[in-house]
Amino acid sequence: ELKVEQNPLFLSMQEGKNYTIYCNYSTTSDRLYWYRQDPGKSLESLFVLLSNGAVKQEGRLMASLDTKARLSTLHITAAVHDLSATYFCAVNFGNEKLTFGTGTRLTIIP
C-alpha cells in the first residue's frame, strides 16, 4: 500500500524554538513536496525535493530528503508566529497522483 505518514499531527511550540516535522513514506520515490495551508485557504507550495540528499531552505524552514530511509524532514528554526499553519508532505509514487500525508498542525505560541 502506498502510504505517507507525518508526525507529529499537532505541534505547539514557543516562539524562538527549533523543531522538526517528519514525513515517512512506504515505497520508493524520489519526488517529494512540502505544502503549507493556512486556515480556510488553499495549499501553497514550499519545497520540491527531487533526489536523494536534496536540501532546500527558505527563511526559517529547511527541508531535506533521504530516499534510502524513505524520510523527509521539515526543520523550523527560531519559530515565529507567522509560521503557524498546517504543513503537508506529499509523495509522487509514479502513479500520476500525489499521496498526501495526514498534515501537521503547527501553532506557535508567543
Chain centroid to Cα 38, Å, comes to 14
Nearer to another protein, 77 or 92 (CB): 92
Q: Does 48 bind another protein (CB under 8 A)?
A: yes
Q: Does 93 bind another protein (CB under 8 A)?
A: no
Nearer to another protein, 96 or 110 (CB): 96
23: phi then psi, degrees, rounded to nearest 5:
-135, 110
> Residues touching another protein: how many (CB under 8 A)?
21
Cα–Cα distance measured from residue 2 to residue 16, given in angstroms and rounded to the nearest whole number: 36
Q: Does 44 bind another protein (CB under 8 A)?
A: yes
Of the candidates 3, 17, 81, 97, which one interacts with another protein according to CB under 8 A? 97
With contacts defined by CB under 8 A, name the span among 19-27, 43-51, 58-66, 67-75 that binds another protein.
43-51
Q: How far apart are the first and last CA of the chain?
A: 41
Q: Does 33 bind another protein (CB under 8 A)?
A: yes
Q: In terms of Cα–Cα distance, which of 80, 88, 74, 82 is closest to 37?
A: 88
The residue assigned the cell 530528503 is 65
Q: Does 88 bind another protein (CB under 8 A)?
A: yes
Q: Does 103 bind another protein (CB under 8 A)?
A: yes
**Residue 96 gets which letter from DSSP?**
S
